[in-house]
Amino acid sequence: MRIPDDTASRNAEIVVRTLQENGFTAYFAGGCVRDWTLERISTDIDIATDATPNSVEKLFSVTRRIGKSFGVVQVEQGESHFDIATFRYETGTTDGRHPEQVSFGGPDEDAKRRDFTVNGLFYDPVEDRVIDYVGGRADLKEKLIRTIGDPNQRFSEDYLRLLRAVRFSSVLGFSLHPDTRAAISRNAEGILKISLERVEQELSRILIESPRAGEALHLLYDVGLLQHILPEVAAMHGQEQPPQFHPEGDVFTHTMMMLDRMESPNLTLAYSILFHDIAKPVTATTTIEPDGSERIRFNKHANIGANMTTTILERLRLSHEQVENVSHCVGNHMRFMEVPNMKQSTLRRLVGEETFVDELELHRLDCLCSHGDLSNYTFLKHFSEGMPPKEVLPDPWVNGRDILALGVPKGPEIGRWLQIVYDMQLEGSAGSREELLDWLREKVPQG
């Protein structure tokens, strides 16, 4: 196994050497060993040892207790910080989240209380050897996510592991071991015992880190987790669409395809894709067209979807800014259909939105994964590229004080006049502030 030759890794090795030279067993543990074995980048290096927290604190000058009940001490070494955990084993749980008792033990016991075999590996950087008590190396070769020991027991100890299994499978491109997969389905309802903050963290990582986030979404549905954490998204499964506009299939398939084709994922884009058609199942109606044919329609699904998105993301405890941005993208994704008919001022406002880059990418993927017509996307792309950012939405020439000075009383009427003259500025209907003020003097009713 090749570990990176960087400052953090060298400092981590110094920590392990210090522990070993003082008579303790100490290894790199968990995710970093998994990732390095797979020749993947790992940013977090955790260290496990038989030294007690008190012993660790005596050996290092700068320490901080971050998990007193679990025996975790954060140590500063050079420019780096590392979490050092004392080997432990856990027994019992009453809530599916926390162990009833935590006891210090040996490395084999510590490995066997972990979640999946690929996360149960240790590495000794001094002797350059991997320590494997759970068959993790074999599962890495077979590309399998398998629980350590009985899967039902592992999941009942912490039901967040249900989602973690899907994340590791999707991010690494591994298969779920049949026994592990079956246990996820049996225990899926247990995810409701986990705090929504922890659920959101796993869900967001699945969407952002998975090379094919659509396949990850499908896996969440197949094992029964999606129905519990996002029933509104699960409801898209089987919702038919007009084949002339959506030859790809139902709403769920369309959404999966878009997620799979994300090129530079970020939270706003990923959640905007996930929720852009969230209201289609609740707005679906069948109408009779003039030629006598039937057509499925989803009237006002964008506006209703924006409200649903706000409710869902607030439920998941996302930040206020994130909720607003995603809901805005969802609520406005249908306006791109009107791009050829938009006034210059409307186009400039569209391009000037903080969320424009994500909205444009949402539109591109929406088209690619349905009818395939990218004409509006191409038009907007050229329009935005041909206008420097500072010129898209320049500072208004006229302000509220100017309107007040013309005798308009404080209130919504000021906003209406400001909107009108700013549109004129964006449209090029006036060439200067003075022209706008002259126009206002003619149009504003004199008291």
Q: Is residue 148 part of a domain?
A: no
Q: What is the DSSP letter of 131?
A: E
Q: Is residue 387 part of a domain?
A: yes
Q: In CATH, what number is assigned to the domain containing residue 312? A: 1.10.3210
Cα–Cα distance measured from residue 310 to residue 332, given in angstroms and rounded to the nearest whole number: 14
Looking at the structure, tell me whether residues 79 and 131 fall in a common domain.
yes
Looking at the structure, tell me whether residues 377 and 238 fall in a common domain.
yes
Q: Is residue 147 part of a domain?
A: no
Half-sphere exposure of 386 toward its Cβ, with a 13 Å CA cutoff?
8
Q: Is residue 23 part of a domain?
A: yes
- Range 37-54 average pLDDT: 92
Looking at the structure, tell me whether residues 49 and 70 fall in a common domain.
yes
Q: In CATH, what number is assigned to the domain containing residue 216? A: 1.10.110.30
pLDDT tens figures, 364-391: 999 999 999 999 999 999 998 887 666 7
Bridge pairing between strands 144-145 and 175-176? parallel
Looking at the structure, tell me whether residues 279 and 330 fall in a common domain.
yes
- Percent above pLDDT 90 for the chain: 72
Cα–Cα distance measured from residue 119 to residue 398, given in angstroms and rounded to the nearest whole number: 62
Q: Is residue 130 part of a domain?
A: yes
Which of the four pLDDT bands, split at 50, 70 and 90, describes residue 193?
Answer: very high
pTM of this prediction? 0.86
Looking at the structure, tell me whether residues 74 and 8 fall in a common domain.
yes
Q: Which one of 204, 225, 246 terminates a domain?
A: 225
Looking at the structure, tell me whether residues 236 and 373 fall in a common domain.
yes
Looking at the structure, tell me whether residues 328 and 380 fall in a common domain.
yes
Looking at the structure, tell me whether residues 275 and 328 fall in a common domain.
yes
Q: Which one of 180, 195, 225 terminates a domain?
A: 225
Cα–Cα distance measured from residue 141 to residue 414, given in angstroms and rounded to the nearest whole number: 69
pLDDT tens figures, 71-108: 799 999 999 999 999 998 876 566 656 666 677 889 99
Q: Is residue 299 part of a domain?
A: yes
Domain that holds residue 283: 230-392
Cα–Cα distance measured from residue 246 to residue 285, given in angstroms and rounded to the nearest whole number: 16
Looking at the structure, tell me whether residues 43 and 28 fall in a common domain.
yes
Looking at the structure of the chain, the number of domains it has is: 4
- Percent above pLDDT 70 for the chain: 95
Looking at the structure, tell me whether residues 344 and 283 fall in a common domain.
yes
For residue 368 the two structure tokens come to: 């690619």
Q: Is residue 41 part of a domain?
A: yes
Q: Which pLDDT belongs to residue 119?
A: 97
Whether the CB-CB separation of 163 and 201 falls below 8 Å is answered with: no
Q: Token match 């809530």: residue?
A: 95
Looking at the structure, tell me whether residues 165 and 116 fall in a common domain.
no
- Range 301-320 average pLDDT: 97
Q: Is residue 286 part of a domain?
A: yes
Q: Which stretches of 150-222 are DSSP H helices? A: 151-157, 160-172, 178-187, 196-209, 213-222
Looking at the structure, tell me whether residues 129 and 209 fall in a common domain.
no
Mean pLDDT, the chain, whole residue set: 92
Q: Which pLDDT belongs to residue 70?
A: 65
77: left (phi over 0), alpha (psi -120 to 50) or beta: beta
